[in-house]
């Protein structure tokens, strides 16, 4: 009975992630995960793969770990039959092929069980490059009132790919900001038009000077290593070509301009951050707060309050956040900015969890 209850809980979480993937434009994962849920209930290979993780918190604790591990099998050539349907590996997928893909996926799980079980131990880290679309908007908003060189500190950095936002290219209609030759292009970055405040700030500051950039993560990924690069690619959904292309460009920039990501919790990291005259100190994080234990987040808030209280016109501070926020009965991913000693946050925009396209509020 306990086994059945555990499997049912796992299946429900996988179905929740299936709906999320479908909503965020991955019909491949949307279809696959529904069948994964059925296989878990039936005690198939997917049940064996997730065994012991049924009580882990959050839908991604099971679903995204499982599909990430299988995607890694595909990317390393260990699942050629499944690769035929994964665009990230040169294959193609259509809705009518859902049954065929499922058969190949289930066989890959069964044949690669030790590999997949190892990946179940890893928390998903997408290091989604599209979220820089919100970071750069928040930075430009902050620098409009504090036009100074920037010191950028990121919480939950993963591989640190979003610590180079000024090196990406952002476009929307006739709007464009960032180097024209950037290997990372976030096209159609805004829907319903670029907000007036962003257009004005971008026109005023065609570049942003970042003089220091550091991040932290309890389990940082080295994007320059083969293992780290594989992990980052494996957690991108295989039928989302634009995300995969952005990631490839971000990895290219990482090789050109390495950054420091410290293996430390967010509270300890912020305790070592101070303000410096003549610079704007910015703390940024995106879609990571739900993974931080409440006591740790209380420390983070205390450190953010400390930095805000110390802010002056000569050494200003800004806190930029892109996180899911409850709005009525739903959660929305919102860009908020808190500047200086002001305790009030300004809500500037919202976007899908991957950051593109954003919409002004």
Helices (H) and strands (E) in the chain, counts: 13, 11
pLDDT digits (tens, 9 = 90+) for 321-336: 999 988 777 889 999 9
What three-state secondary structure class fits 24?
coil
Per-residue pLDDT, 290: 86
Per-residue pLDDT, 26: 96
How is the beta sheet containing 185-186 ordered, strand by strand? 175-177, 169-172, 185-186
The DSSP bridge pattern shows strands 317-327 and 330-339 to be antiparallel
Per-residue pLDDT, 351: 96
Crossing angle between the packed helical segments 63-75 and 226-234, to the nearest 10 degrees: 120
Per-residue pLDDT, 60: 59
pLDDT value at 2 more than 70: no
pLDDT value at 74 more than 60: yes
For residues 75-97, average pLDDT: 97
Q: What does pLDDT average to over the chain?
A: 95
pLDDT value at 229 more than 70: yes
Strand partners, 85: none
pLDDT bracket for residue 34 (50, 70, 90)? very high
pLDDT bracket for residue 56 (50, 70, 90)? low
Per-residue pLDDT, 3: 81
Per-residue pLDDT, 58: 61
pLDDT value at 57 more than 70: no
d(CA 29, CA 25): 9
Specify whether the CB–CB gap between 113 and 45 falls below 8 A: yes
For residues 215-221, average pLDDT: 96
Per-residue pLDDT, 122: 87
> How many C-alpha atoms does 315 have within 13 Å on its Cβ side?
10
For residues 292-309, average pLDDT: 96
For residues 261-282, average pLDDT: 98
How is the beta sheet containing 260-263 ordered, strand by strand? 260-263, 210-217, 150-155, 280-286, 317-327, 330-339, 346-350, 359-360
Q: What percent of the chain has pLDDT over 90?
A: 89
What three-state secondary structure class fits 180?
coil
pLDDT digits (tens, 9 = 90+) for 193-213: 999 999 999 999 999 999 999
d(CA 153, CA 217): 11
Per-residue pLDDT, 59: 52
Angstrom CA distances, 311 to 1, 60, 210, 214, stand at 57, 37, 18, 20
d(CA 111, CA 95): 25
- Reading phi first (left if > 0) and then psi (alpha if -120 to 50, else beta), residue 178 is in left
């Amino acid at each position: 009975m306990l086994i059945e209850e555990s499997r049912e809980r796992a299946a429900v979480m996988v179905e929740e992630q299936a709906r999320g993937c479908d909503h965020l434009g991955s019909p491949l994962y949307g279809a696959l995960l529904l069948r994964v849920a059925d296989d878990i209930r039936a005690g198939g290979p997917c049940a064996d793969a997730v065994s012991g993780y049924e009580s882990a918190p959050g839908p991604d604790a099971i679903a995204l770990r499982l599909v990430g591990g299988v995607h890694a099998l595909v990317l390393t050539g260990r699942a050629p039959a499944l690769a035929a349907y994964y665009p990230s590996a040169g294959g193609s997928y259509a809705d009518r092929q859902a049954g065929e893909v499922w058969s190949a996926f289930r066989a890959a799980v069964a044949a690669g069980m030790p590999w997949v079980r190892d990946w179940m131990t890893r928390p998903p880290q997408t290091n989604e490059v599209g979220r820089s679309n919100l970071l750069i908007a928040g930075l430009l908003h902050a620098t409009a009132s504090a036009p100074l060189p920037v010191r950028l500190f990121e919480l939950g950095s993963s591989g640190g790919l979003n610590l180079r936002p000024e090196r990406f290219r952002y476009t929307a209609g006739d709007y464009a900001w960032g180097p024209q030759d950037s290997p990372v292009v976030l096209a159609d970055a805004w829907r319903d038009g670029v907000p007036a405040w962003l257009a004005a700030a971008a026109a005023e500051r065609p570049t942003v000077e970042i003089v220091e950039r550091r991040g932290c993560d309890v389990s940082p990924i080295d994007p320059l290593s083969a293992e780290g690069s594989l992990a980052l690619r494996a957690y991108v959904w295989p039928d989302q070509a634009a995300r995969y292309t952005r990631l490839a460009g971000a990895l290219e920039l990482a090789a050109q301009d390495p950054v420091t990501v410290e293996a430390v919790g967010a509270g300890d990291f912020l305790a070592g951050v101070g303000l410096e005259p003549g610079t704007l100190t910015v703390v940024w994080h995106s879609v990571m707060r739900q993974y931080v234990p409440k006591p740790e987040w209380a420390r983070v808030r205390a450190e953010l309050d400390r930095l805000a209280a110390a802010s002056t016109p000569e050494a200003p501070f800004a806190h930029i956040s892109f996180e899911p926020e409850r709005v009525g009965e739903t959660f929305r991913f919102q860009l908020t900015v808190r500047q200086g000693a002001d305790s009030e946050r300004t809500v500037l925009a919202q976007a899908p969890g991957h950051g593109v396209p954003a919409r002004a509020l």
